[in-house]
Amino acid sequence: MIVITNPSAISGEIRIIDSLFEEGLSLLHIRKPEFSAVEMAHFIDKIKVEFRSSLVLHSHHQLAKDLGINRIHISEKDRKDRTFRPISGKICSTSTHSIEDFNSLENDFDYAFLSPVFKSISKENYHPKKNLFDALKSRTNFKTKVIALGGIATENLKRTLENGFDDVALLGSIWNSENPVKQFKLCQQIAHSYLA
């Protein structure tokens, strides 16, 4: 299961992030679009160093080497504009919004988000234009893992995995919760019960 940081600051965020990892979080995507490179480095420095291998940088990719981060996320825009190419030796992910885009990905990507699956919890007026469960039936790219994003919560997580997604990414269901760690554990139990 993947968690994406809230774009803006959350009270006690670093403590929550460390707790999520201690509870078994596999990957944390650090998406802070407003951060400068200095702010990004400072933010990452506060996360326990043993979790570095599980961090994914969405911006300021040049920091990856110095911070010991081996994973980068390339935005859909940068991928399509070809302004950013996967880096040799780094594990790369990207974002897609249609099965056609997902199917046409080159083999450079370990996994890709496909969104939105459901009405977004964190973005207002962001909802699916197509049924992505139906769309997944025409999946031809099996080299890249497909990760469900958008509106994933306890009530639809199992159905999402049952309908062909390889994994899920959580954002709003975690950060909009009164207790993000408890919410993560609930989602984790549902995912484990499906995958068991």
pLDDT digits (tens), the chain, 196 positions: 999 999 998 999 999 999 999 999 999 999 999 999 999 999 999 999 999 999 999 999 999 989 999 999 999 998 888 777 667 788 999 999 999 999 999 888 999 999 999 987 777 666 778 899 999 999 999 999 999 999 999 999 999 999 999 999 999 999 999 999 999 999 999 998 876 5
Q: Tell me how far the alpha carbon of residue 101 is from its chain's centroid.
A: 17
- The residue with tokens 């959580």 is 170
Domains recognised in the chain with CATH numbers: 2-195 (3.20.20.70)
Phi, psi of 47 (to 5 degrees): -80, 140
Q: Where are the alpha helices (DSSP H) in the chain?
A: 13-22, 37-46, 64-67, 76-81, 99-103, 132-136, 157-162, 172-175, 180-195
Enter the pTM of the model.
0.93
- Which of 160, 170, 151, 169 lies closest to 194 in space, CA to CA? 160
* Peptide linkage before 86 cis (omega within 30 of 0): no
